Chains A and B, each alone.
Chain A
Amino acid sequence: MSTDSNKPAVQTTGHAWDGDLQEYNNPLPRWWVWTFYATVVFAVVYWIMYPSWPVGKSFLGGVKTITFQTSSGQEVTTHWNMRARLLHDLQNGEEAVKQREYLEKIANSSFEEILSDPDKLAFVRSAGKVMFADNCAACHGAGGQGVIGLFPNLVDDAWLWGGTLEDIHTTISQGRRGYMPAFPQFAENGKVDNLADYVLSLSGEQGGDPVSIKKGEAIFQGEEGGCYYCHTKQATGMKSLGSANLTDKIWEIANVPGAKTYEEKRAEVRKVILGGIQREMPSWKGRLPDETIKILTVYVHELGGGK
Chain B
Amino acid sequence: MSQSQEEHLYAARVPIFPRSVKGRFRNVKYGILALAYGVYFILPWLRWHRDNGPDQAVIFDLKARLFYVFGMTIHPQDIFLLAALLTLAALLLFFVTSVAGRVFCGYFCFQTLWTDVYMMIERLVQGERPARIRLSKQPWNREKILKIGLTHLLWLLVAFWTGLTFVLYWGDAPTLFVEFFTGKAPFPAYATALFLTATTYVMAGLAREQVCIYMCPYSRFQSAMFDKDTLIVSYDARRGEGTAGRHKIAKGYKTREERHAKGVGDCIDCGYCVQACPTGIDIRNGLQVPCIQCALCIDACDTIMDSLGWERGLIGYYSEHRLEGKPTRIIKWKTLGYGLALAAVVGFMTWLVANQAPLDMHVRKIRQPLYVELADGSIQNSYDIKINNKTSEPVRIRMEVKGLPGAKADFGRFREVRIRPQHYVRLLGKVSIKPAPGVSKRQEFSFRAVPIEPADLPEVEAPARFFMP
Asked whether A and B interact, the reply is yes
Q: Which residues of A contact B (CB under 8 A)?
A: 1, 5-6, 8-9, 115-116, 118, 121-122, 125-126, 141-143, 145, 153, 155-158, 204, 245, 248-250, 257, 302, 305
Interface residues on B, range: 20 to 34
User: Is B182 positioned at the interface, with any CB of A under 8 Å from its CB?
Assistant: no
Shortest CB–CB separation between residue B78 and chain A, in angstroms?
23
Q: Nearest A residue to B414 by beta-carbon distance?
A: A118
A153 to B368, CA, bound (A): 11
Q: Which residues of A contact B380 (CB under 8 A)?
A: 155-157
Q: Check A250/B373 contact, CB under 8 A, given A141-B368, A302-B428, A305-B430.
A: yes
The listed residue (A141, A153, A158, A305) touching B410 by CB distance below 8 A is A305
Q: Check A121/B7 contact, CB under 8 A, given A145-B372, A156-B374, A249-B375.
A: no
Q: Which residues of B contact A156 (CB under 8 A)?
A: 372-375, 380
Q: Nearest B residue to A250 by beta-carbon distance?
A: B375
Q: Which residues of B contact A125 (CB under 8 A)?
A: 426, 428
User: Is B366 positioned at the interface, with any CB of A under 8 Å from its CB?
Assistant: yes
A250 to B375, CA, bound (A): 5
Q: Which of B261-313 contact A (CB under 8 A)?
A: none
A155 to B373, CA, bound (A): 9
A204 to B425, CA, bound (A): 41
Q: Is the CB of A115 within 8 A of B428?
A: no
User: Is B441 positioned at the interface, with any CB of A under 8 Å from its CB?
Assistant: no
User: Is B413 positioned at the interface, with any CB of A under 8 Å from its CB?
Assistant: yes
User: Is B382 positioned at the interface, with any CB of A under 8 Å from its CB?
Assistant: yes
Q: Which residues of A contact B366 (CB under 8 A)?
A: 143
Instruction: Using A8-B6, A118-B426, A305-B430 as known contacts, list a sample of 8 further A-B pairs with CB atoms less than 8 Å apart, ordered by residue number in A.
Output: A115-B412, A153-B369, A155-B372, A156-B375, A156-B380, A158-B375, A204-B377, A250-B373
Q: Is the CB of A143 within 8 A of B368?
A: yes
User: Is B345 positioned at the interface, with any CB of A under 8 Å from its CB?
Assistant: no
A116 to B415, CA, bound (A): 11
Q: Nearest B residue to A249 by beta-carbon distance?
A: B377
Q: Which residues of B contact A5 (CB under 8 A)?
A: 4
Q: Is the CB of B413 within 8 A of A116?
A: yes
User: Is B77 positioned at the interface, with any CB of A under 8 Å from its CB?
Assistant: no
Q: Which of B1-35 contact A (CB under 8 A)?
A: 3-4, 6-7
The listed residue (B367, B376, B382) touching A248 by CB distance below 8 A is B376
| Residue in B375, B414, B428 whose Cβ sees the most chain A Cβ within 10 Å | B375
Q: Which residues of A contact B426 (CB under 8 A)?
A: 118, 122, 125-126
Q: Nearest B residue to A116 by beta-carbon distance?
A: B413
Q: Is the CB of A142 within 8 A of B374?
A: no
- State the main secondary structure of chain A at its contact with B: loop
Q: Which residues of B contact A (CB under 8 A)?
A: 3-4, 6-7, 366-369, 372-377, 380, 382, 410, 412-414, 417-418, 425-428, 430, 469
Sampled A-B contacts (26; CB under 8 Å):
A1-B7, A8-B6, A118-B425, A118-B427, A121-B412, A125-B426, A141-B369, A143-B366, A145-B368, A145-B369, A153-B369, A155-B372, A155-B380, A156-B374, A157-B374, A157-B380, A245-B375, A248-B375, A248-B376, A249-B375, A249-B377, A250-B373, A250-B375, A302-B412, A302-B428, A305-B410
Q: Is the CB of A157 within 8 A of B375?
A: yes
| Residue in A9, A142, A305 whose Cβ sees the most chain B Cβ within 10 Å | A305
Q: Which residues of B contact A158 (CB under 8 A)?
A: 374-375
A141 to B370, CA, bound (A): 13
Shortest CB–CB separation between residue A189 and chain B, in angstroms?
33
A125 to B364, CA, bound (A): 15
A118 to B6, CA, bound (A): 73
Q: Is the CB of A118 within 8 A of B417?
A: yes
Q: Which residues of B contact A9 (CB under 8 A)?
A: 3
Shortest CB–CB separation between residue B202 and chain A, in angstroms?
14
Shortest CB–CB separation between residue B130 and chain A, in angstroms?
32
Q: Which residues of B contact A155 (CB under 8 A)?
A: 369, 372, 380, 382
Shortest CB–CB separation between residue B172 and chain A, in angstroms?
19
Closest 6 CB pairs of A and B: A143-B368, A248-B375, A145-B369, A8-B6, A249-B377, A155-B372
